[in-house]
Amino acid sequence: MRIKHLLSIIPLICLVHISSAQSNLKAGIWRGELKTKSGNLLPFNFDVKDVTAKHQELFIHNGAERFAVTDIKQKGDSVFIHMPLFNSEFKLNNNKDCLKGQWIKHYADHDMVMDFDAVPGINWRFVNNPAPAKFNITGLWSSIFVNEKGKPDTTVGEFQQTASRLTGTFLTTTGDYRYLEGTVDGNKLHLSTFDGGHAFLFTADIKDNKTIVNGAYYDGYDDAEKWTAYRNPKAALPDAYSLTKLKPGLKKIAFTFPDLNGKKVSLTDPKYKNKVVIIQMMGSWCPNCMDETNFLVNGGYYKKYHPKGVEIIGLAYERTTDFNKSKTTLTQLKNRFNIPYTLLITGYTPAKGDPLKSLPALENYKGFPTTIIIDKKGNVSKIHTGFSGPGTGKYYTEFVAEFEKLTDNLLAEK
């Protein structure tokens, strides 16, 4: 499906002059654009910072997030940027005033490639001088996305608008779209995000204070959907603890999978006896899993509750069944977040049906991440579908409080 482009943005002019001399990227703010198959431009901003005379880092802007990228290598006029997560990279040419090349996201059986241009010194994202916003869409919106097959999916849009600046996200039953940032230009809505895994672009017309129409959503190179929304202060998702369940009559789950060193680990191991155990069904390719991992580690949960008797096990569903390839991507994730708890390579992929094959006691599995909370008797207490990360504001704060209260109650049980 080819959706008419709603933007009228002049593409970046990026003429690369080949040079054999190596030079650093220009420090400061940059504006980059990814090009979709349909010709739509997905913009984002990033900062380049000099760490040493020979080493630079960049920080990608998405709302309040600054996503750090440290693996930048230059050889002559070539620049290679390896994203720290999600198995993607940039291969670019540099002439000091311009970057031009490709972003490549590696899947198990193919690569997705998008053309990329970037120029320094530009701090606006979509429009340099947007027209005064005709409406303010701050608040909650019931949002309906329709894919190419005509199947609708209702989400919750949450937006914050100050003058023409727009931030927010969409919440779904399996997670959120993370930090979105953009502009209201007159009655035109523009939002985007990029973190090496997500590459999302949203456009729409704001009909009035209650209605958003003609929405187009672009995911990566060639996926596209239509969307509409209406203001709904009571918009909400189903209870995340009500979706995935155990099969009737069952109280426990069981598994035996190898850790990153190949050692087999089971829930019945002495380490987990009389402990509250958090099972994190995740993957290194999953941005919402990244947010959940950040909460568990850097959010202080593990540090607070591990001494009290909580263990965490990450069950990884990588895009490949190859152990060594999975180990490589998971090691990157482990190092990125300094994960102190056990990660297991299930040997299953996130493909439809695989998670239920790996844990046959489950039913109605929805997606990643899914978190299984096990009490001190080894019984499944709760199963939480999805994760609302810090980009969702109060939803994240409410989840943290609720999850910690649940943990406290389970620890108090005899």
Q: What is the pLDDT of residues 363-412, one digit of tens each?
A: 999 999 999 999 999 999 999 999 999 999 999 999 999 999 999 999 99
* Per-residue pLDDT tens digits for 336-345: 999 999 999 9
Task: Give the pLDDT score at 5.
Answer: 37
Question: Residues near 128 by Cβ (< 8 Å), separated by ≥ 6?
Answer: none
Q: How much is the pTM?
A: 0.89
* Per-residue pLDDT tens digits for 140-175: 999 999 988 888 898 999 999 999 999 999 999 989
Task: Look up residue 261 and give its amino acid.
Answer: N
Question: 199 near 102, Cβ under 8 Å?
Answer: no
CA-based nearest residue to 106, from 322, 288, 319, 324: 319
Q: Is the pLDDT of residue 264 over 50?
A: yes
Neighbouring C-beta atoms of residue 37, cutoff 10 Å: 13
Q: Compute φ and ψ for 66, nearest 5 degrees.
A: -125, 100
Distance of alpha carbon 201 from alpha carbon 184, whole angstroms:
14
Task: Look up residue 408 and give its amino acid.
Answer: D
**Pairing label, strands 342-345, 310-316:** parallel
- DSSP string over 11-26: PP---PPP-SS--PPP
Question: Residues near 75 by Cβ (< 8 Å), separated by ≥ 6?
Answer: 22
Q: Is the pLDDT of residue 12 over 90?
A: no
Distance of alpha carbon 374 from alpha carbon 385, whole angstroms:
15
Per-residue pLDDT band for 96 (boundaries 50, 70, 90) equals confident
Three-state DSSP state, 398? helix
Neighbouring C-beta atoms of residue 358, cutoff 10 Å: 18
Q: Is the pLDDT of residue 16 over 50?
A: no
> Which helix (H) or strand (E) segment is 159 a member of?
strand 152-162
Q: What is the pLDDT averaged over residues 56-81?
A: 95
What percentage of the chain has pLDDT greater than the value 90? 86
Q: Which residue has the higher pLDDT, 12 or 51?
A: 51
Question: Residues near 268 by Cβ (< 8 Å), separated by ≥ 6?
Answer: 254
Q: What is the pLDDT averaged over residues 91-120?
A: 93
* Per-residue pLDDT tens digits for 287-342: 999 999 999 999 999 999 999 999 999 999 999 999 999 999 999 999 999 999 99
Q: What is the pLDDT averaged over residues 36-60?
A: 95
Q: Compute φ and ψ for 204, nearest 5 degrees.
A: -170, 170
* Per-residue pLDDT tens digits for 171-208: 999 899 999 999 999 999 999 999 999 899 999 999 99
Question: 198 near 391, Cβ under 8 Å?
Answer: no
Per-residue pLDDT band for 18 (boundaries 50, 70, 90) equals very low
Beta bridge partners of 50: 56
Residues in the chain, overall count: 414
Q: Is the pLDDT of residue 256 over 60?
A: yes
Instruction: Report in angstroms the alpha-carbon separations of 119 from 20, 26, 304, 353.
Output: 20, 9, 44, 44
**Pairing label, strands 78-82, 71-75:** antiparallel
- Pick left, alpha or beta for residue 338 (phi over 0 → left; psi -120 to 50 → alpha; otherwise beta): left
Question: 64 near 291, Cβ under 8 Å?
Answer: no
CA-based nearest residue to 295, from 305, 285, 99: 305
Mean pLDDT (the chain) is 92
What percentage of the chain has pLDDT greater than the value 70? 95
Neighbouring C-beta atoms of residue 79, cutoff 10 Å: 21
Three-state DSSP state, 248? coil
Task: Give the pLDDT score at 277.
Answer: 98
Distance of alpha carbon 171 from alpha carbon 86, whole angstroms:
21
Task: Give the pLDDT score at 13.
Answer: 58
User: What does the CA dihedral 96, 197, 181, 117 come to, rounded to 10 degrees?
Assistant: 30
Question: 392 near 169, Cβ under 8 Å?
Answer: yes
Task: Give the pLDDT score at 14.
Answer: 63
Q: Compute φ and ψ for 120, nearest 5 degrees.
A: -85, 165
